[in-house]
Amino acid sequence: MSSGKFTPYDIVKAIRSTLAGFCYSGDDDIQLSHISKWYASLLDEVTKQIVLHYTTELWKETLLPVSKDFKPPVRGYHRIKWAALNCWQIPNSYTHVLVDECHDLTKPMLQILDNSPQAVISLGDEYQNLKGKSQQRSNIIRYREVAHSVRSGRLIEKIVNPIIAIHPGKAKARFHGNELNRLDIKYYDKPEVPDKPAVILVNDMWGLFEWAQRIASENLNLKLLSNIKNLNMFVNDCIELYLSQFRPHCDKIQPRHGELFRFKSWDEVADYYDKKQNNQSFQHIDQMLKKGYQYEDWSKTSAKFIRGSSHSYSLGKIEDARNHEFQTVMVIPEVVSPAWQAKQENIAAVGSSIYVAVTRAKQSLILPEGLRNWIEEISATSNKTIVKT
């Protein structure tokens, strides 16, 4: 069904998103809070109630379809949520549970661990949760902090510790760099491709698109840390969506990529990423497309992608760099710029992104001047908050 200005397709997308939000939560019932912030900002109150009603119906049909002809997809997060709601336990055949990267566990996963009788050892770094704040165990656990880095030198402390201080995370022990490692930190005013091979970290698909083009335009080889098929789909959708505005009598384009599928036109994309988000990478891509950027141009760029070489540059989103370390890391300005506008509720996500990006470097960090300015601004209060060891 439709609702106001929203088509049935719009409602279905909102319903699926809301059900996923419920499945990742620790709640027993589907609520308004499970509607994603993006959809919640667009939907009126009546449409929100419609979305909640049909999300509940979809969940019931997913668990127990009334008709054999209706076969909704059953994902892993559906199964995990169902197990948590039914208080299922890890089988008794397992005596111990060891969990790595526990900062990424969803609340239903933790509920299953809490319901299980086994001894659980979990390892993680809550500041690497890029969504902001890690979910917490319900049971009382023995908690130990390890705050010494093997990878990065002492200079990293001046960046990391102020971030830890303003982050709402639980761990507040002072971060210590490795005294045996020398870390060189350089700041820049204007972002440019480094003179020597480096890993360039961006925060979204627009950054990947822009910097892949930047590197290729200098005839440099590039190793992509992100998924190439995903990036190809994104770029092709961008080009097709942009060109569709010049074909008013053709069928409307429905983008496939997850970052674009909710938009019906390039104007809607521009309104969101340019006007509302002030995304600099999007603005560069928009200008490229206005100058006639085509599929052939992207083919030339993607031809520069290689599997790996000591003489190649690497490019990826911050989420692709977790669990990795690199000799030289460059962070683009768009990773840092959200920090200036970050409100208290999303300072965790912004701080975690910067934290992960800078702690990937072993020998050299290339950072925007804006990061140094932001760190200096928050450092005045940071030293009062961190527990000194």
Question: Could you report the per-residue pLDDT of 45-55, keeping only the tens digit for each?
Answer: 989 999 999 99
CA separation for the pair 60, 53 (Å, rounded): 11
pLDDT higher than 90, residue 65: no
Position 91, amino acid: P
Nearest to 157 by CA among 175, 179, 130: 175
Which range has the worst mean pLDDT, 46-60, 84-98, 332-346? 332-346
Angle between helices 157-166 and 369-385 in degrees, nearest 10? 60
Count of helices and strands (H, E) across the chain = 16, 10
Percent above pLDDT 90 for the chain = 54
Higher pLDDT, 41 or 297: 297
Q: CB–CB of 56/27 below 8 Å?
A: no
Q: What's 306's DSSP letter?
A: -
Q: How far apart are CA 210 and CA 213, in angstroms?
A: 5
Task: Judge residue 277's burial from the number of C-beta atoms within 10 Å of its C-beta, 0-12 exposed, 13-18 middle, 19 or more buried.
Answer: middle
| pLDDT at 256 > cutoff 90 | no
Closest CA to 198 of 327, 369, 334, 355: 327
Q: What angle do CA 51, 53, 57 make, to 5 degrees?
A: 110
Digit-coded pLDDT (tens) for 303-326 = 988 876 566 899 999 999 988 999
**pLDDT at residue 381, rounded to an integer:** 63
pLDDT digits (tens, 9 = 90+) for 181-208: 899 999 999 999 999 999 999 999 999 9
Mean pLDDT value across the chain: 87
pLDDT at 385 over 50: no
Q: Exposed (0-12), middle (13-18) or buried (19+): which is 375, by Cβ within 10 Å? A: buried
Tens of pLDDT, residue by residue over 95-131, are 999 998 888 899 999 999 989 999 888 888 888 888 8
What does the pLDDT read at residue 338?
Answer: 82
Whole-angstrom CA distances from 206 to 100, 335, 346 are: 31, 12, 21
pLDDT band at residue 3 under the 50/70/90 scheme: low
pLDDT in tens, 147-193: 788 888 889 999 999 999 888 887 888 888 888 889 999 999 999 99
Give the predicted TM-score (pTM) of the model: 0.84
CA-nearest of 147, 144, 167, 166 to 157 is 147
Query: Residue 69: pLDDT above 90?
Result: no
3-class DSSP state of 352: helix
Q: Please tell me the predicted confidence (pLDDT) of residue 386.
A: 45
pLDDT-derived band at 2 (thresholds 50, 70, 90) equals very low
Q: Kindly report, residue by residue over 260-283, the tens digit of the pLDDT.
A: 987 888 999 999 888 777 889 999
For residue 308, the model assigns a pLDDT of 63
389 — pLDDT class (breaks 50, 70, 90): very low
- Mean pLDDT is lowest, of 101-105, 215-219, 239-243, 298-302, for 101-105
* Structure confidence at residue 269 (pLDDT): 92
Is residue 7 very low, low, confident or very high in pLDDT (cuts 50, 70, 90)? Answer: confident
* Mean pLDDT of all residues in 83-105: 92
pLDDT recorded at residue 316: 96
Residues 6+ apart with CB under 8 A from 166: 347, 351, 378, 381, 382, 385
Rounded to an integer, the average pLDDT of 228-238 is 95
How big is the CA angle at 192 (ends 186 and 193), to the nearest 5 degrees?
95
